[in-house]
Amino acid sequence: MTIIQFLQILHDSEFGTSVRESLYLFPLLEGIHLIGLALSLGLIIATDLRLIGVFLKQVPVNEVLHNFRPYVLVGFLITFVTGIILLWAEGPRIWEIPVFPLKLALIVVAGFNALWFELKFGRTVQVWGQQAQFPAGAKLAGWVSLISWSGVVILGRLIPYLEATQSRF
Amino acid sequence: MTTEAFFNELQTNQVSLYISQLNAFAGAVAQLFHILGFLLILTAVLIVNLRLIGFGLRKQPIPYLAKVTNPLILAGLVLVAISGLFILLPSASLYYPNPAFWLKFYLLAAVLVVHFTITRLVTRKENPKPVVAISAATLSLTLWFGVAFAGRAIGFLN
């Protein structure tokens, strides 16, 4: 079964149909998708900029990591769940917009980057966080996160834009 | 002149006509800068308001966080204003009848007033009264998220 066939089955299901055809639910889910993103993304950017060394320089890096983490995770969970429901309802159409698979790929990159950072640097942050120069790997993780999440947002914004442009012509 | 006539005028002046002749790529770039500006504002707003509620960077002084996030807000506002004009001008009469568009601007006006008065005053103090700090933060967050929500809704109502 191809991805598009699988998405078509979800699309045709009772749940997918009722979400898609609901006048308020679909825009509401889009709105919650955006708000969840807003909650996690602002703090991810702040964390990345701290790792790179350009923002919140007076704040110990472990404080930034630990104090923002719960909100980043909750925001991500909200965005992830609403994103799955939106895809459930509109999967085949969204999948055909060329930037969508690329957006998913960048989310995977961002995810592996966060995991790698956590395993390699997460537990020793108390030690390296005190040093004037952070390890190159920690800085690199900050850059990768910043670039990949920016890409996710840019591509995500292009989805409704390309949809509208396609339907206009 | 009525507001509607003004919006029609906005759309048909030379600058707007020039912008609308640019290709779809220019439109997409304006959208991206609009989002980027909003992200800068958002980062700043979250850091300060979470701290006011007693979450996030709890160990850091409120005035310090307000100070370091201020440039982000100002840069973000400049970006959204310029890119917003690029988005609005070529299609002003399309936005005029859109209720979400007006809601967004009422909320934006409200949040700017709140930001430059209440938030400014509250974040000057090392230890504002918790009830005041939490109320100010809740108001600010609700309004900012409202702007984003209404902004997204514009596309659904067009």
Can you tell me the ipTM of this complex?
A: 0.80
Q: What average pLDDT does the segment A132-153 reach?
A: 90
Q: Over the stretch B118-156, which tens digit does the pLDDT of each residue have?
A: 999 999 998 899 999 999 999 999 999 999 889 888 887
Q: By the 8 A CB rule, do B30 and B86 touch? A: yes
A30 in contact with B, Cβ within 8 Å? yes
Per-residue confidence (pLDDT) for residue A77, from 0 to 100 = 96
Half-sphere exposure of B3 (CA within 13 A, CB side): 5
Task: Identify which of A31-35, B38-42, B75-79, B147-151 has the greatest average pLDDT.
Answer: B75-79
Give the pLDDT score at A169: 39
Instruction: Report how many domains make up chain A.
Output: 1
When pLDDT is cut at 50, 70 and 90, the band that residue A168 belongs to is very low
Which residues does chain B have within 8 Å of residue A39's beta carbon, measured at their own beta carbons?
46
**What are the b/e assignments for B104-125, b being 16+ CB within 10 Å?**
beebbeebeebbeebbeebbee
Return the residue matching tokens 């999967």: A91
Sign, CA torsion B64/B131/B74/B152: positive
Interface residue of A157, A162, A166, A167 to substitute, partner B, most B CBs within 10 Å: A157
What is the predicted pLDDT for the residue at A2? 86
Residue type, A140: L
φ, ψ of residue A59 to 5 degrees: the values are -95, 125
**Whether pLDDT at A78 is above 50:** yes
Distance CA B97, CA A103 (A): 33
Q: Which residues in B lie closer than 8 A to residue A165 (C-beta atoms)?
A: 24
Chain A residues lying within 8 Å of B145, measured CB to CB? 35, 38
Q: What is the mean pLDDT of residues B90-105?
A: 89
**Closest CA–CA distance from residue A27 to any residue of chain B (Å):** 7
Interface touch A67/B57, C-beta < 8 Å: yes
The Cα B45–Cα B75 span in angstroms is: 13
Mean pLDDT computed over every residue of chain A:
88
Which phi-psi region, left, alpha or beta, contains residue A107 (left: φ > 0; alpha: ψ -120 to 50)? alpha
CA distance B112 to chain A (A): 19
What is the tens place of the pLDDT at every residue in A99-124? 899 999 999 999 999 999 989 888 88
Could you tell me how many residues make up chain A?
A: 169
CA A140 to chain centre: 18
> What pLDDT score was predicted for residue A137?
87
**Mean pLDDT, residues A69-93 taken together:** 92
Task: Determine which of B25, B36, B94, B152 to mutate to test the interface with A (most A C-beta atoms within 10 Å).
Answer: B152
Query: How crowded is the C-beta side of B89, counted as CA atoms within 13 Å?
Result: 19
Of B83, B84, B77, B72, the C-alpha closest to B43 is B72
Q: Show residues of chain A in contact with B153, CB under 8 Å.
A: 27, 31
- Closest residue to A161, CB basis, from B28, B47, B58: B28
One-character DSSP codes across B31-96:
HHHHHHHHHHHHHHHHHHHHHHHT-SSTTS-HHHHHHHHHHHHHHHHHHHHHHHHHHHGGGHHHHT
Nearest CA in chain B to A165: B24
Do residues A47 and A129 touch, judged by C-beta distance below 8 A? no
State whether residue A38 sits within 8 Å of chain B by CB: yes
Of B31, B55, B56, the CB nearest to A161: B31
User: Domain residues for A126?
Assistant: 3-168
| Spatial contact of B33 and B83, defined as CB atoms under 8 Å apart | yes
Percent of chain A with pLDDT over 90: 41
**Residue A113: strand, helix, or coil:** helix
Q: Do B47 and A30 touch (CB under 8 A)?
A: no
Contact A48, A146 (CB under 8 A): yes
| Chain-chain contact of A63 with B60 (C-beta, under 8 angstroms) | yes
| Residue A10 clears pLDDT 80, i.e. is over it | yes
Amino acid A21 reads E
What percent of chain B clears pLDDT 90, i.e. is strictly above it? 56
Q: Is A164 on the interface with B (CB under 8 A)?
A: yes
Rg (alpha carbons) of chain A, rounded to whole number = 19
